[in-house]
Amino acid sequence: MFKKIQITFFLSLFIFLFILTLKFYFSEKNIKFTNKSRNFYELELYNLKVPLLKNDTDDIITFNNDVENFKKKTKKRFWEKLISGKDE
């Protein structure tokens, strides 16, 4: 009996809080406040004078062909020579 009352209480509390959250989230006051805030930050972003930095990332990454080097170093096995048909 106590378990059913407890479950009912928690379920009703959850539903109540969920409804309150939705009511606040979709209220006109919250929507207006959100739009004002977005507009303010958008205007602030355009008013900033951020200096542009010179690009110094050219030729930083060097390409290593490790797969081809590994293939050259591996020892050829007998059956690989039969399949390739080449005399090596």
Is residue 67 helix, strand or coil?
A: helix
At residue 76, the pLDDT reads 67
Looking at residue 16, what is its pLDDT? 98
pTM of the model: 0.43
Count of domains observed in the chain? 1
What's the domain range around 44? 2-84
Chunked into runs of 10 residues, the chain (88 residues) has average pLDDT values of: 95 97 95 88 70 80 78 72 66
Q: What is the DSSP letter of 58?
A: T
Q: What is the pLDDT of residue 53?
A: 83
Give the SS3 label for residue 55: coil
Per-residue pLDDT, 87: 57
Closest C-alpha among 38, 15, 39, 35 to residue 23: 15
